[in-house]
Amino acid sequence: MSQKLRVVGIGCDGYEGLSARAVEALSSARRIIGSPRQLHLLADVNLDAELSPWPSGFWTDWQVTLADIDPLVDVILASGDPMFHGVGVSLVRELGRGGVEVIPVPSSASLACAYLGWPLHDTPVISLVTGEPGIPGAARVVPVADALRPFLVLCRNADSVKEVATVLAGRPDTKLTALTNLGGTEATGLLESVAEGTVATPPVPAGNLTVLAVEPSGSARGWLRDGDFDSDGQLTKAPIRQMTVAALDPRPGALLWDVGGGTGSIGIEWARHGGRAEIFERDAVRAERIAKNVANLSGNVTVHHGAAPGALADSNLRPDAIFIGGGLTADGMLEACWQRLAPGGTIVANAVTLESEALLWQARRDYGGDVTRLSVERAGAVGTFTAWRPALPVVQWVALKPVEPALP
């Protein structure tokens, strides 16, 4: 059996906090590879191994990075639990479960929940360490705060605390607790520190290695209201919006393409259900407005400025679902979207004009699926009385792309 690549997690308590198994792995290594911060925790330890920092941009090409690593003599030093938003996840993905031996210490989330008295199994965790930096990345906390559940944020750096406070400005009484260098000791030079505050007056963390505990205030919010979006009127309104998102079959981690974004409402609602979205919008002003809505309401959405179907080439990903809310009559739109949709994926298109509706009936003939007419009426005043006021009916086509049979 070939030697597994050993990955040792280390916490702010340093070498003293390692298990005998971890100590044995480090003692037998000729080279220990890790970040400068992690390697610094071993600087005063009597080890024969060379302490080697990761090369610049090592995560961008794992094939090249791993070609220089010998599992027989090299050990990877990682932070905390390497399988919790850590390098262990990438290494197992590249080498397979049987190619990696992970030796963890308690994760930062585990230490934070132990300090706070929160149940780890029932505490959502949002990592800002990866993904978009700044406000666009911090926006991912908004849907979790809207559920009024206490949650943890793994901060990219000390600035993450202010960024989270910014995106939660509408909940000023939300309690924020910045937990820095959890488990740290004077011996390692990483002293544990706790700072408390609110969204209105955010705490100042003692360093970059911070977990932020968030206890939301205010009212819960599930589905968004029409008024939550900044819009010029180009908006898929409730309840058609909810019915459209339901037809797309959202699920955590799945990717949606929202083509002809308008206000971005469908992509944003999808992201709030745990997915990722890419929105394509040809109008520059609307594309900028969509980006602001994303930052205020969901995060996890990339906005592409350009006219589809040509702009679809801006993405090299294959979506699990596609919604066509605008540009349906553009030449080749339906064909291009169907081609890019992943097998087993769902496509939904809405139309309000007879010309667009005709295209949906043709799509049903070409690709199958169902066509449904959705009508909504709202009560409104007629003088001193009340009557129903109908909105324009929406014709909706929904189809599932067949999964290609496996080759024998």
Per-residue pLDDT tens over the stretch 303-312: 999 999 999 9
Cβ of 339: how many Cβ atoms within 10 Å?
11
Tokens 């009426």 -> residue:
377
pLDDT reading at 162 higher than 90? yes
- Residue 391 sits at φ, ψ, to 5 deg, of -90, 165
> Three-state DSSP class for 212?
strand
368-393: burial string, b at 16+ Cβ within 10 Å, e else: ebebeeeebeeeeeeeeeeeeeeeee
The pLDDT value recorded for residue 130 is: 86
Pick from 158, 184, 215: which residue ends a domain?
215
How many domains, in total, are found in the chain? 3
322 contacts 334 by C-beta, under 8 angstroms: no
Same domain, 247 and 347: yes
- Please check whether residue 231 lies inside any domain of the structure: no
Residue 245 pLDDT more than 70?
A: yes
Q: Over the stretch 349-376, which tens digit does the pLDDT of each residue have?
A: 999 999 999 999 999 999 999 999 999 9
C-alpha distance from residue 352 to each of 111, 114, 325, 359, 399 (Å): 54, 54, 10, 11, 18
Q: Are residues 252 and 335 in the same domain?
A: yes
CB 47 within 8 A of CB 53: no
Task: Report pLDDT digits (tens) over 167-218.
Answer: 999 999 999 999 999 999 888 889 999 999 999 999 999 999 999 999 999 9
CATH number at residue 207: 3.30.950.10
Distance CA 406, CA 76 (A): 38
Report the percent of the chain where pLDDT is more than 70: 99
Two structure tokens written together for 386: 């009340």
Helix axes 354-367, 333-340, angle to 10 degrees: 40
Give the pLDDT of residue 370: 97
Last residue of a domain, one of 181, 215, 249: 215
Confidence of residue 408 (pLDDT cuts 50, 70, 90): low
Task: Supply the pLDDT for residue 378.
Answer: 94
Residue 227 falls inside a structural domain: no
State how far the Cα of 148 lies from the Cα of 58, in Å rounded to an integer. 38
The CATH code of the domain that includes 70 is 3.40.1010.10
pLDDT value at residue 407 = 64
pLDDT band at 406 (very low <50, low <70, confident <90, very high): low
The pLDDT assigned to 253 comes to 95
Among 44, 74, 105, give the residue marking a domain's end.
105
Q: What band does 70 get if pLDDT is binned at 50, 70 and 90?
A: very high
Please tell me whether residues 14 and 127 are part of one structural domain: no
Q: What is the CATH number of the domain that holds 294?
A: 3.40.50.150
Q: What average pLDDT does the segment 91-119 reach? A: 96
Domain that holds residue 94: 5-105
The mean of the pLDDT values for the chain is 95
pLDDT in tens, 123-153: 999 999 988 999 999 999 999 999 999 999 9
Average pLDDT of 293-310?
Answer: 96
pLDDT band, very low/low/confident/very high, at 398 (cuts 50, 70, 90): very high
In terms of DSSP bridges, do strands 5-10 and 100-103 run parallel, antiparallel, or are they unpaired? parallel
Q: What is the pTM of this model?
A: 0.90
pLDDT of residue 405: 77
Average pLDDT over residues 42-60: 93
